[in-house]
Amino acid sequence: MNNQRIVSNADTASILGRSQRKSVDTTAASLMLLFCLVLGFQQVAIKGVAEDISPVVQIALRSAIAGCLVGVLAYWRGIRWADMSRHRGAGLLVGLGFAAEFAFVAWGLTYTLASHMSVFLYTAPIFAALGLHLWVPGEQLSLRQWWGVGLAFMGMVIAMAPSGAYSIDILIGDALGLLAGLSWAATTVVIRKTSLSEAPAELTLSYQLSVTALVLLPVAALSGQLMSAQLTSMAVASLGFQALIISFAALMLWFTLLRRYRASQLGVFSFLGPLFGILFGTLLLNEPLSINFLMGGGVILVGIVLVTR
Torsion over CA: 113, 116, 118, 121 (sign):
negative
**Residue 59 maps to a domain:** yes
> Is 22 in a helix, a strand, or coil?
strand
Q: CA 237, CA 62: separation in Å to the nearest integer? A: 12
Query: 292-298 long-range contacts, Cβ below 8 Å, gap at least 24?
Result: 292/158, 292/159, 292/160, 292/161, 293/159, 293/160, 295/155, 295/158, 295/159, 296/155, 296/156, 296/157, 296/158, 296/159, 296/160, 296/161, 297/155, 297/159, 298/155
Q: Are 174 and 116 in contact (CB under 8 A)?
A: yes
pLDDT digits (tens, 9 = 90+) for 148-168: 888 888 887 787 666 555 567
**Residue 13 maps to a domain:** no
**Residue 117 maps to a domain:** yes
Q: How many structural domains compose the chain?
A: 1
**Residue 118 maps to a domain:** yes
* pLDDT value at 283 more than 90: no
**Residue 159 maps to a domain:** yes
pLDDT digits (tens, 9 = 90+) for 39-90: 878 878 888 888 899 999 999 999 999 999 999 999 998 888 888 888 888 8
**Residue 93 maps to a domain:** yes
- β-sheet bridge partners, residue 261: 22
| Residue 309 pLDDT | 59
Mean pLDDT of the chain: 80
Split at pLDDT 50, 70, 90, the class of 180 is very high
Which residues constitute the domain of residue 194?
24-308
**Residue 9 maps to a domain:** no
Measuring CA to CA, which residue among 184, 69, 82 is closest to residue 128? 184
**Residue 259 maps to a domain:** yes
Single-letter code of the amino acid located at 52: D
pLDDT digits (tens, 9 = 90+) for 8-17: 343 443 344 4
